[in-house]
Amino acid sequence: MEYNSQREKLIIPEYGRNIQKMVAYALTIEDREKRTNAAKYIVSVMASMNPQNHDSSDYMRTLWDHLFIVSDFRLDVDGPYPKPEKDTLERKPDKVLYSDKKIKFRHYGKNIEAIIKEACAFEDSPEKEALVHTIANHLKKSYLNWNRESVDDEVIAHHLNILSDGKLTLSDEQKLTATSDILARNKSRKKKFIPRSKDNSGKRKKRQQ
C-alpha cells in the first residue's frame, strides 16, 4: 500500500494529485502546440473545481499562475497571460511601517488631533466658537467613555489647550454637556447592544407576551 507521505509532495493541495500528474504529463509533451492545448485543458479542469469563483475579474489569470506554480515554472506554453516570475513567491513582503507619531492623549485618539489642527486654522468667528465647543464636548464624551466616571470641565479645557498648543480655548460662557447626561447616554447605548439570552438549545428565548 502506498501512503500519501511516500508520494510526491503536493505543490498546491487544493487542486489535488490528479492535476499535479496532468501538469507533469504536459511537461513531457514535446510539441509546443499540443503542450499549450494540454495546458488549456488543465486550466479548464481547475476552473471546474471552483465554479463559485468565476465572477472574479482576475480568476482566469490566477488559474494560469497556479498552473505555472504547479509545474515549478518549467511549463513553456503560449498562455493568455505572461508567466509569473519564480522569485515573486520567494520575495518577502515589504515591511509595514507603523506610525511613530506620539498621541498626547490616547483615550482621545489620533483623529481628534487632526480635527483640532484644522480648527486652529479657522479665523475667529461664531462658527469657530461653535466648532471649539463641539470638539470640547467630544473630548469630554471620550474621556468618560474610556476613563473615569466623572471629569471637571476645567480638565477638558486644559486638555484642549494642550492639544491645540494653546490656540483653542473655551470661553466662560461655553458650558459643556453635563456629565450625568453623557453617562446616561453611554449606559443606554450599552443596553442596546446586549444580546438576549439563549436557552440550552442555543435558540433565542422568545419575549414573554
Q: How far apart are CA 156 and CA 138, in angstroms?
A: 10
Asked whether the predicted pLDDT for residue 171 surpasses 60, the reply is yes
Q: How would you label 156-194 residue by residue, b for 16+ Cβ within 10 Å and e otherwise?
A: bbebbeebbeeebebeeeeebbebeebeeeeeeeeeeee
The cell for 9 is 509532495
- 124-156 pLDDT, tens per residue? 899 999 999 999 999 998 888 876 667 888 989
Helices (H), the chain: 16-28, 32-49, 59-70, 87-90, 111-120, 126-146, 153-163, 179-192
C-alpha cell at 55: 465572477
Distances (CA, A) of 172 to 129, 133, 154, 167, 207: 12, 11, 10, 16, 50
Domain boundaries, the chain: 7-86, 111-192
Give the predicted TM-score (pTM) of the model. Answer: 0.46
Mean pLDDT on 54-69? 88
Any idea how long the chain is? 209
Asked if pLDDT for residue 107 goes beyond 70, the answer is yes
